[in-house]
């Protein structure tokens, strides 16, 4: 037998599971507000919740992008490490005189590479959060610069452009005889 009342957590879990079973491509915002009103939830609360969800999704997306960017910074270090040290091993084996000297550069460079790897692998913690905040500021300033350039470009395309050809301006000036005589006398005519 089904209970007559559910706690908000139970209702949320039931609705989430039921919605997951039904294959729906999307629900319009209007329909979402209508369903919420049937449950006694105001449109303002729905809008606030939707805004929260969008902010959380954007935050997760930015974090994934930051982590991917950090991890991709390993390749420019790892590839030269492998190539150079394989070359050292090859040279060492070709001229082997009882001493494997290539181990020095392999270990020395490997320690630096390991430290770099240890700095980019964590995805949480205070140091990660500091770096993420700094990266986020840089991304925001890049976006602002890009938006300013786009608005300048749009403003420039909206104003009429000249072709670079100077066209003579033709002015017609009417001068009566009285004004012309003093000018002719001054010029010596």
Phi (first) and psi of residue 113, to 5 degrees: -65, -40
**Predicted confidence (pLDDT) per residue in 148-163, tens digit:** 999 999 888 876 655 5
Decide if pLDDT at 62 tops 90. yes
**Predicted confidence (pLDDT) per residue in 98-108, tens digit:** 899 999 999 99
What residues contact 33, with CB distance under 8 A and at least 6 apart?
A: 43, 46
Domain segments of the chain as ranges: 26-72
Do 62 and 136 meet the contact criterion of CB atoms below 8 Å apart?
yes
Do 32 and 22 meet the contact criterion of CB atoms below 8 Å apart?
no
**Residue 46: is it exposed, middle or buried by C-beta count within 10 angstroms (0-12/13-18/19+)?**
middle
Six-digit token string for 19: 């919605």
Please compute the mean of the pLDDT values over residues 4-19 and round it to a whole number: 83
Q: Helix 75-94 vs helix 103-120: angle between axes, to the nearest 10 degrees?
A: 170
């Amino acid at each position: 037998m089904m209970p007559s009342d559910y706690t908000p957590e139970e209702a949320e879990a039931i609705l989430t599971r039921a919605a997951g079973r039904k294959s729906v491509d999307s629900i319009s915002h209007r329909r979402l507000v209508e369903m919420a009103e049937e449950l006694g939830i105001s449109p303002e609360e729905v809008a606030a919740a939707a805004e929260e969800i969008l902010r959380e999704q954007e935050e997760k997306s930015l974090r994934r992008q930051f982590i991917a960017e950090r991890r991709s910074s390993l390749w420019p270090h790892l590839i030269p490490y492998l190539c150079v040290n394989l070359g050292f091993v090859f040279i060492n084996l070709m001229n082997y005189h009882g001493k494997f000297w290539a181990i020095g550069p392999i270990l020395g460079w490997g320690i630096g590479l390991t430290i770099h790897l240890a700095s980019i692998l964590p995805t949480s913690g205070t140091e990660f959060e500091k770096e993420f905040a700094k990266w986020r500021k840089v991304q925001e300033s890049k976006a602002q610069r890009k938006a300013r350039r786009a608005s300048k470009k749009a403003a420039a395309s909206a104003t009429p452009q000249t072709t670079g050809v100077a066209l003579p301006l033709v002015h017609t000036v009417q001068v009566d005889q009285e004004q012309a005589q003093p000018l002719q006398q001054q010029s010596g005519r």
